[in-house]
C-alpha cells in the first residue's frame, strides 16, 4: 500500500512537473533548445512565375541578397562584389555579439545550400531554424518573414535554386555567451498555411511591405533588443561598419521627420539614394528597395503617412551627441 502511494505520489509529482514545465517551457528554451517542427519532404515546383516573383522579392523588398552577398561598401550603391551574388559573408557591422555569418545561399553543394532541402530553407526563412536545427541569430529577419504567404515563400526558394553556384567557404556563426542560449526562445514553428496578405488599399499594402521589408528593424530604436514604445519608425538607431557611422532617420510625418516629403520625392529618394544634394549612407538599402515597382513604393509612402508623428530630431551631418529620447548618440541628439 505504502509503495502504491509512493508510486502514485511520484506519478502525480511527474505530472505536476510536466504541467508546470509546459507553461514555463519557453523559459527553459535556452537549455532545451529552440522549438522546431519536424521537417517534411515537400518540394516547391519550379515555375517561371515563381522564379520572377522570387527574384523580385529576394533582390529588393526582402533583402536576402543584400545580407547574403559580399558587398563593396565604399561605393554609393554598395554593389555586390563580382561573382559573389548570394554567396554569403561574415556580417560586417560593429557591435554584434560574436561572429555572425550570413550563409552562402547559392546551390554549391559543399559551401552553400546545394544539399539543403526546400523545407529546410522554408523553416529557416519563416521559423528561424537553420538547416542544422539550431536557432538562427535574429539578425536574419525570420520574424518579419513569418507573414510571407506560402506562395511567396515558395517563390523565394525557387529563385535561390536558380542562383549560379559559388564556392565560398565561410566559418560558422559563433555567438558569445549568453546570447547563444537566450536566442533559442525566439523561433516559433509554423504549422498552419499562411494566406496572401490583405493588399486591398495602398495603406494596407504599404503596412505589409514596410513590415516584411524590415524598415522598423533599423528605423525603430530599441532598448535591450525590444522596440522602444512610442517611437515606431522614429529613427535614431546607429549602425557602424565598413560603411562608416550613420543613425537612422525619423520616418514619421512630424516636422522633425519626413513631413516635407511628397510621394514623388519619396520614390526619388528610394531610387537614387539622394535627398536633394545629400547622399545617403549605403547602410540604408535604397539600392535594394529602389528596385520595387512604383506601386509598391507609393504604397509604402501611403502607409508611412498614417504613422503617429513623433518629435525626434536625427541628423548625420552634425556630430553625435547623447539623445534622451532614444538613448543613442546621434547628430542633434542634444536638441531632443
Ligand atoms: C539583415 C540581414 C539578412 C537578411 C535581410 C536576410 N538574411 Fe538570411 N541570414 C542572415 C544571417 C546573419 C544569418 C545567419 C544567422 C546565424 O548563423 O545564426 C542568416 C541565415 C539564413 C539562413 C540559414 C542558413 C543555415 O545555416 O541554415 C537561410 C536559409 C537564410 N538566411 C536565407 C535568407 C533569405 C532567403 C532571405 C530573404 C528572404 C534572407 N536570408 C534575408 C542575415 C540576413
Ligand atoms: C539596414 C538598416 C536600414 C533599413 C533596413 C532601412 N533603412 Fe532607411 N535609413 C537607414 C539609415 C542609416 C538612414 C540614414 C542615412 C543617412 O543619413 O545617410 C536611412 C535613411 C532613410 C531615408 C532618408 C530620410 C532623410 O530624408 O534623411 C528614408 C526615406 C528611409 N531611410 C526609408 C526607409 C524605408 C521606407 C525602409 C524600409 C523599406 C528603410 N528605410 C529601411 C537605415 C535603414
Residue for grid cell 515555375: 47
Nearest atom of ligand 1 to the alpha carbon of 172: 17
User: Going from the N-terminus, what domains does the chain have, and what CATH number goes with each?
Assistant: 48-185 (no CATH), 202-335 (1.10.760)
Proximal ligand: closest to the CA of 63: 1
Q: 249 C-alpha vs ligand 2 centroid, how far in Å? A: 6
Ligand 2: residues whose CB is within 6 Å? 210, 213-215, 217-219, 239, 246, 248-249, 251, 258, 269, 275, 280-281, 283-285, 289, 300, 316
Ligand 1: nearest atom to the Cα of 214? 5
The reply to whether ligand 1 has any atom less than 6 angstroms from the CB of 173 is yes
Sign of CA dihedral 92, 97, 99, 102: negative
**Which region, left, alpha or beta, applies to residue 54 given φ > 0 means left and ψ of -120 to 50 means alpha?**
alpha
Q: Is the CB of 107 under 6 A from ligand 1?
A: no
pLDDT in tens, 173-212: 999 999 999 999 999 999 999 999 999 999 999 999 999 9
Tell me what pLDDT residue 16 has: 47
* Residue ranges in the chain modelled with pLDDT below 50: 1-2, 4-5, 8, 11-19, 21-23
Ligand 2 atom closest to residue 315's alpha carbon, by position in its atom list: 17
Q: Which atom of ligand 2 is nearest to the CA of 275?
A: 26
Q: Does residue 210 contact residue 300 with C-beta atoms inside 8 Å?
A: yes
Binding site membership of 243 for ligand 1 (Cβ less than 6 Å): no
In 3D space, the residue among 101, 94, 105 whose CA is nearest the CA of residue 64 turns out to be 105
Inter-residue contact 326 to 221 (CB < 8 Å): yes
Mutate which of 94, 273, 284, 300 for ligand 2? The one with the most ligand atoms within 8 Å of its CB, which is 284
Q: pTM of the prediction?
A: 0.93
Q: How many CB atoms lie within 10 A of CB 16?
A: 10
Which residue CA neighbors atom 13 of ligand 1 most closely?
102
Task: Please check whether residue 238 is in contact with residue 221, taking contact to mean a CB–CB distance below 8 angstroms.
Answer: no
**Residue 157 CB less than 6 A away from ligand 1:** no
Q: Which atom of ligand 1 is nearest to the CA of 121?
A: 29
Cα(134) to centroid of ligand 2, in Å?
Answer: 31
Distance 279 CA to ligand 2 centre (A): 12
pLDDT for the residue 5:
47
Ligand 2 centroid to 236 CA: how many Å? 11
CA distances from residue 305 to 17, 20, 238, 258 in whole angstroms, order as listed: 51, 46, 24, 9
Ligand 2 center from residue 211 Cα (angstroms): 14
Is the bond into 168 cis (omega within 30 degrees of 0)? no
Q: pLDDT value at position 107? A: 98
Amino acid at each position: 500500500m505504502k509503495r502504491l502511494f509512493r508510486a502514485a505520489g511520484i506519478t502525480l509529482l511527474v505530472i505536476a512537473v510536466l504541467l508546470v514545465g509546459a507553461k514555463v517551457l519557453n523559459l527553459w528554451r535556452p537549455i532545451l533548445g529552440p522549438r522546431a517542427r519536424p521537417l517534411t519532404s515537400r518540394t516547391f515546383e519550379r515555375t517561371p512565375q515563381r522564379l520572377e516573383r522570387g527574384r523580385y522579392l529576394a533582390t529588393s523588398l526582402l533583402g536576402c541578397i543584400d545580407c547574403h552577398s559580399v558587398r563593396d561598401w565604399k561605393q554609393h550603391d554598395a554593389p555586390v562584389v563580382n561573382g559573389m551574388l548570394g554567396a554569403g559573408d561574415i556580417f560586417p557591422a560593429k557591435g554584434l555579439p560574436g561572429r555572425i555569418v550570413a550563409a552562402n545561399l547559392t546551390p554549391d553543394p559543399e559551401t552553400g545550400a546545394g544539399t539543403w532541402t526546400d523545407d529546410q530553407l522554408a523553416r529557416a526563412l519563416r521559423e528561424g531554424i537553420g538547416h542544422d536545427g539550431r536557432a538562427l541569430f535574429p539578425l536574419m529577419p525570420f520574424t518579419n518573414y513569418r507573414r510571407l504567404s506560402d506562395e511567396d515563400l515558395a517563390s523565394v526558394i525557387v529563385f535561390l535554386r536558380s542562383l549560379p553556384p559559388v564556392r565560398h567557404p565561410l566559418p560558422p556563426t559563433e555567438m558569445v555567451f549568453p546570447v547563444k542560449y537566450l536566442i533559442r526562445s525566439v523561433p516559433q514553428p509554423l504549422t498552419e498555411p499562411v494566406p496572401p496578405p490583405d493588399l486591398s488599399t495602398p495603406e494596407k499594402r504599404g503596412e505589409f511591405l514596410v513590415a516584411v521589408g524590415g524598415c522598423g528593424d533599423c528605423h525603430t530604436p530599441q532598448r535591450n533588443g525590444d522596440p522602444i514604445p512610442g517611437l515606431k519608425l522614429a529613427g535614431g538607431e546607429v549602425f557602424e561598419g565598413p560603411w562608416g557611422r550613420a543613425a537612422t532617420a525619423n520616418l514619421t510625418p512630424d516636422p522633425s521627420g519626413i513631413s516635407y516629403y511628397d510621394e514623388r520625392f519619396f520614390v526619388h529618394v528610394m531610387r537614387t539614394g539622394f535627398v536633394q544634394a545629400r547622399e545617403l549612407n549605403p547602410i540604408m538599402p535604397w539600392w535594394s528597395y529602389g528596385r520595387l515597382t512604383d506601386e509598391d513604393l507609393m504604397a509604402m509612402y501611403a502607409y508611412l503617412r498614417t504613422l503617429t508623428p513623433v518629435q525626434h530630431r536625427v541628423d548625420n551631418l552634425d556630430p553625435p551627441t547623447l539623445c534622451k529620447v532614444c538613448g543613442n548618440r546621434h547628430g542633434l541628439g542634444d536638441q531632443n
